[in-house]
A and B are shown apart, each in its own frame.
Chain A
Amino acid sequence: MHELALTHEIVAIACNAAQQRRVHAVTLVIGRLSCASPEAIAFCFDVVARGTLAEGARLEIHRTDGDHLMVKTLEIEETA
């Protein structure tokens, strides 16, 4: 289950970039050759995000044929 470690990394990247603002959505790109299972990451995400700025965020996963494994975009709360 390396996806748990990957999901911790994903949530950390999102929360860092959010700079204290709430994260509403996280979009990932996961290639079919990346050795990461989107289902397993989706399974881990809600639990890992709990108690962080990304709690309850919507997770979208784009699949590619390459070996991409990245956090593509974040939807975060707008600054007032």
Chain B
Amino acid sequence: MCGHCGCGETHEHADGTRHSHPHHHDHGHHHGHDHATTLVELQTRVLAKNDALAARNRAWFAGREILALNLMSSPGAGKTTLLERTIRDLRGARDIGVLEGDQATSLDGDRIRAAGAPVVQVNTGTGCHLEADMVMRGLSELRPPARSVVMIENVGNLVCPAMFDLGERAKVVILSVTEGEDKPRKYPHMFRAASLMLISKLDLLPHVEFDVARVIAAAREVNPAIAVLCLSARTGEGMDQWYDWLRREWTAAGEAAFA
């Protein structure tokens, strides 16, 4: 094992072949090729640019005491329905603005607008997730007021959105009872990255085979610190606990600005 980069002695080529050979980390010169080449040590993180932009977003939110949340789930887990109800129930308590990520159409954006919140639809085209620069552009259009809440509804996908920091205060993963109990084990990155898991569509629980205790255990297996709430945006069951969580977070977001 190499102490510098953590790589093993063995490595894998793009075509899948593996072999081992010693390697070095100094700026050596390779000779004996047809052309002279120089080895340049970079050690550059692939996501460095996104993370720098996310840090800029985070500072932008903090300076305005804005609570930004990154909502993620598979398609159809109920992100938009949850937002519609949240916007209606919290009217007067906090301004909520929404950045709506989808590959195409403004259908979700139209629903959020009808619920009474300002919304900017961010279409990613072929992209399967939102990136920090898309959020930055969306914010320049949304212009959320100070001390408001910005809900970033990510593209429906349990894989890539977990990798890209957007500058949010917390990632929230929504898992509906119509999905499998094994989702946290199948998509560990998503559940590891999230601070809160919302188990949605609780009103459908009597009709499906879904063991709430087992799914919570599976989520805690990959992320022991994850908070869990169960709710139904249709019947309203459990929504108060979600609003309590939001209130704690927006208070904390306000205090973080001066920490």
A complexed with B:
yes
Chain A interface (Cβ < 8 Å from any Cβ of B): 1-2, 5-6, 9-10, 13, 17, 24-25, 28-29, 31, 33, 35-36, 38-39, 42, 45, 58-66, 68-79
B16 within 8 A of A: yes
Chain A contacts for B33, CB-based, 8 A = 24
> How far is B7's CA from A65's CA once the two chains are assembled, in angstroms?
8
A70/B29 contact (C-beta < 8 A), A59-B14, A60-B14, A63-B12 known: no
> How far is B127's CA from A51's CA once the two chains are assembled, in angstroms?
22
Do the beta carbons of A61 and B38 come within 8 Å of each other? no
Residue of B7, B47, B48 with most partner-chain A CB within 10 A: B7
Do the beta carbons of B42 and A39 come within 8 Å of each other? no
Do the beta carbons of A74 and B46 come within 8 Å of each other? no
Do the beta carbons of B39 and A74 come within 8 Å of each other? yes
Do the beta carbons of A64 and B8 come within 8 Å of each other? yes
Do the beta carbons of A62 and B46 come within 8 Å of each other? no
Chain B contacts for A1, CB-based, 8 A = 128
Cβ contacts B40-76/A at 8 Å (1 or 0 each): 1111111111100000000000000000000000000
Chain B contacts for A45, CB-based, 8 A = 14
Partner-binding segment picked from B158-166, B228-236, B238-246: B158-166
> How far is B45's CA from A13's CA once the two chains are assembled, in angstroms?
9
Chain B interface bracket (under 10, 10 to 19, 20 to 34, 35 or more):
35 or more
Chain B interface (Cβ < 8 Å from any Cβ of A): 5-8, 11-16, 29-30, 33, 35-50, 127-129, 131, 159-160, 162-164, 189
A6/B46 contact (C-beta < 8 A), A39-B16, A61-B14, A68-B6 known: yes
Smallest Cβ-Cβ distance to B6: which chain A residue: A64
Do the beta carbons of A70 and B128 come within 8 Å of each other? no
> How far is B41's CA from A39's CA once the two chains are assembled, in angstroms?
23
Do the beta carbons of A13 and B46 come within 8 Å of each other? yes
Do the beta carbons of B37 and A69 come within 8 Å of each other? no
> How far is B12's CA from A67's CA once the two chains are assembled, in angstroms?
17
A76/B37 contact (C-beta < 8 A), A1-B128, A29-B5, A70-B43 known: yes
Do the beta carbons of A71 and B42 come within 8 Å of each other? yes
Smallest Cβ-Cβ distance to A21: which chain B residue: B38
Smallest Cβ-Cβ distance to A80: which chain B residue: B36
